[in-house]
Chain A
Amino acid sequence: MRVLGISAYYHDSAAALVDGGKIVAAAQEERFSRKRHDPRFPKEAINYCLGEAFLQGSDLDAVAFYDGPVLTFDRVVKSFAAASRPDAAQFSAAMRSMLGVKARVAAHVEEALGGPPAKLLFADHHLSHAASAFYPSPFEDAAILTVDGVGEWATCSLARGSVEGVEILEEIRYPHSLGLLYSAFTYYCGFKVNSGEYKLMGLAPYGEPVFADKIRDHLIDLRPDGSFRLNMEYFGFVEGDRMTSEAFDRLFGGPARAPETRITRREMDLARSIQVVLEDAMLALARRARERAGSVNLALAGGVALNCVANGRVLREGIFDKMWIQPAAGDAGGALGCALLAAHSYFGEARPPREKGRDGQKGSYLGPRFSGAEVRAFLSRNDYPYRRVEDEGARVREIAEALAAGKVVGYFSGRMEFGPRSLGARSILGDPRRADTQSVVNTRIKFRESFRPFAPSVRVEDVGEYFELGTESPYMLLVAPVKESRRKPFSVAGREDMIAIVNEPRSDIPAVTHVDYSARVQTVHPDDHPAFHRLLTAFKEETGYGVLVNTSFNVRGEPIVCTPKDAYRCFMRTDMDLLVLEDCLLDKAAQPAFEEATDWRTEHELD
């Protein structure tokens, strides 16, 4: 059965195609529209998915949508009915959205497919997340934990996956939400809700958990069984248009930090405090899931599952033997989840066997690929100078030598990643050994100052040489300590200049070592991305290190590049030294002057 899954109208719309229970293609709309977190109907992503499988809309057995609109509407209207002073502008905006664009799913699908689908199905939000976590996992059975802001009424679900499918066992309901609690602190610390959560997590190691007790005493009642409730007196999202209330301001000593202003000790300590509380909650939920589902395996999804620090803590506590996290854990992954759920639960499709005991996510390389011929056609048409290096051994040696010499490389290889992380298909790469890689990539390429170090990509067979991690982390969703033997004495105590701190070497791979000696690890398996694995091998042969800096191929506020054109544009707008487009190498010095009619820095809203 061929099922197209769609997530749309909220955040990060996406499409995914499943055939015979196997994932064929998946992509986020933002990569095509070039609008970050694009919430609009994913017509470009749908076109891509159908094209990838050489299908027309009429070839599909069903289209599935990842959310139940009736229950979502029910929650929205009841929120306003519960509020003593509901905000008229918010109500109007909500009705425009719910009864306007969101009521047009059927019409949008029909338009995108060129006719009505054989079936239009609607899947529950958290069941979709649970399906996205379980079905692609390598497990025959698993406890499933889905934690996000909210979907319909649920904010957190404990489920079980087995040969009988996916079943939700119990849930926590709106407005009591770990995702919204974390987002409230994201907002309060001056970061953008729905994209700044990652920054808040990265800020936490600079702080002390001095507010953790205050959070536990006033904001959340966390029970030993993992269930919880928020005290809505401190939050604004039910009553009005703020994440937090005036009581929240009073509790933490003043108003929220204004975006883009200096980060102070208060924000560092708040970040650490909410991270500690979140981890406590996730551990309690994991224990409960273990008990209820009775499995030694854990599958995770939902936006909170992108908190790789909490994931690493759950792993280290040893509650489960094995753990698998859906790389597109947020709403984009709902497109994949609802397609899988429909394939297995609606059509009764059998779950395909796992090959070599590995997962079915295919490294999450599920997006568009551009052949060498397509790349060369693009470059020739535009008269961009390039060198084609057909011999792969020679090519990876040349790239590795450039990296070892301190050059920054834009690396475009194979199918684009599905999910928010760059995993070596659309990545900017650098040398993790150099003390200046952090500042060079941030200031000359990303055009930002960042207190967060970059993530390392490491050959799966070498992970134990660098990190205290006893398992694969193919999707950069686990944080693990850098091995003690590699660390250098270092302390952040009493220091507030985060940029100075982050630029100070803390290990022999300083560009990927956070101030608490942690790292967001991606292990690279040769079956998932052979070319990237060979590049890591070449770098190891050149330097003795089988690890590289891997950051997303974009500038701040821009979606990750999708096409050769996107990649070339990003390369020319920044100080990257070398661009690798499949088997073509482009030296910056050889390129003609790149002129644009407008200042590209104004194109993208900062995240």
Chain B
Amino acid sequence: MSSTDLDLAALGLEGVDLEGVDLEGVDLDGEDEEGEGGDDEAKAAARAEAARERAAAIDAMSARVLEGALAEAHRALVKRGAVLFPMGADASVSTYFEAPRRGRMSKEDFELSAASSPDAFLSAVRAMWEAEGFAEMVPVAEGLREVGRALAEVPEDESGEVSGFVYAMF
């Protein structure tokens, strides 16, 4: 199946660029196999299947960013010797305390326009990375836009709960 054959609206992926996403083995036709008039159980099963398919598609998009833009950013950062954060002790520094990014918040700091949509959010992230001199990371933000758009179309209960580990990590 080609990504161009898909009914993206039926999958809740309207406007999402699936080009290059590996869809092998993923049933993305979005049709209820029981057809109209199927019983509730069949409809629920079809919805669950559609949700699984949407999740698989989003996983595939994320994987594409991870293996593409993010891997490239990692290689470029390593090549130029950029350190995103230190991984251990450093005898050359007198203290590990750092000045805060901001000690207080101004009124403007409280008002985050980037919260209005995933696109605005990723634009803010991109701008920050550019300002910090992490140009290598910019394609990551761009690559994640389609993930953000896809997730915006996914029903609430499919957008994933946070595992305990994700909390610990993030």
- Chain A residues near B (Cβ < 8 Å): 9-11, 39-40, 64, 68-84, 86, 88-101, 103-106, 119-124, 127, 149-150, 153-154, 157-159, 165-176, 180, 183, 192-194, 221, 223, 225-233, 237-238, 241, 243, 288, 341-342, 345-346
Known: A97-B162, A168-B100, A172-B98. A106 touches B169 (CB 8 A): no
B: interface residue count bin:
35 or more
**A99-B144, A103-B121 known; A84 and B112 CB under 8 Å?**
no
Q: Which residues of A contact B122 (CB under 8 A)?
A: 99
Give the residues in chain B near A194, CB-CB below 8 Å.
164, 167-168
Given A39-B162, A91-B66, A122-B110, also A341-B88 (CB < 8 A): no
- Interface: B101 (CB within 8 A): yes
Beta-carbon contact of B159 and A96 below 8 Å = yes
Check if B104 is an interface residue, CB within 8 A of chain A.
yes
B115 touches A231 (CB 8 A): no
Residue of B nearest to A175 (CB): B85
Instruction: Give the interface of B toward A (CB within 8 A).
Output: 58-59, 62-63, 65-67, 70, 73-74, 77, 84-90, 95-105, 107, 109-112, 114-118, 121-122, 124-125, 128-129, 137, 140, 144, 147-148, 151-152, 154, 156, 159-170
- Give bound CA distance, A600 to B161, whole Å: 23
19 contacts between A and B (CB under 8 A): A39-B162, A39-B167, A78-B84, A91-B66, A92-B63, A92-B66, A94-B166, A97-B166, A99-B144, A101-B161, A101-B162, A127-B105, A157-B100, A165-B104, A168-B104, A171-B100, A172-B96, A175-B87, A194-B168
Given A166-B104, A170-B100, A230-B88, answer yes or no on A79-B169 (Cβ-Cβ < 8 Å). yes
| A89 / chain B contacts, CB cutoff of 8 Å | 59
Contact between A74 and B125, CB atoms less than 8 A apart: yes
Contacts of A172 in B (CB 8 A): 96-98
Which residues in B have their C-beta under 8 angstroms from that of A91? 62-63, 65-66, 70
Contacts of B125 in A (CB 8 A): 70, 73-74, 77
Which residue from B74, B97, B110, B169 sits with its C-beta under 8 Å from A342?
A: B110
Write out the residue numbers on chain A whose beta carbons fall within 8 Å of the beta carbon of B170: 10, 72, 75-76, 94, 97-98, 150
**Quick one: which of A105, A232, A341 contacts B87, CB cutoff 8 A?**
A232
CA gap between A103 and B67 in the complex, in Å: 24
Contact check, A97 vs B102: say whether CB atoms are below 8 A apart: no
Query: Which of B74, B98, B121, B166 is A82 in contact with, Cβ under 8 Å?
Result: B74
How near does chain B come to A243, taking the closest CB pair, in angstroms?
Answer: 6
Q: A86-B66, A183-B168 are in contact. Are A124 and B105 (CB under 8 A)?
A: yes
Contact B168 A180 (CB under 8 A): yes
Smallest CB separation, B155 vs chain A (Å): 11
Q: Please state if B73 and A233 are interface contacts (CB–CB under 8 Å).
A: no
Judge whether B85 and A99 touch: CB under 8 Å.
no
User: In the bound complex, how far is the Cα of B121 from the Cα of A94, in angstroms?
Assistant: 15
Q: How far is the CA of A229 from the CA of B147 in the complex (A)?
A: 34
Quick one: which of A97, A120, A166, A341 contacts B160, CB cutoff 8 A? A97
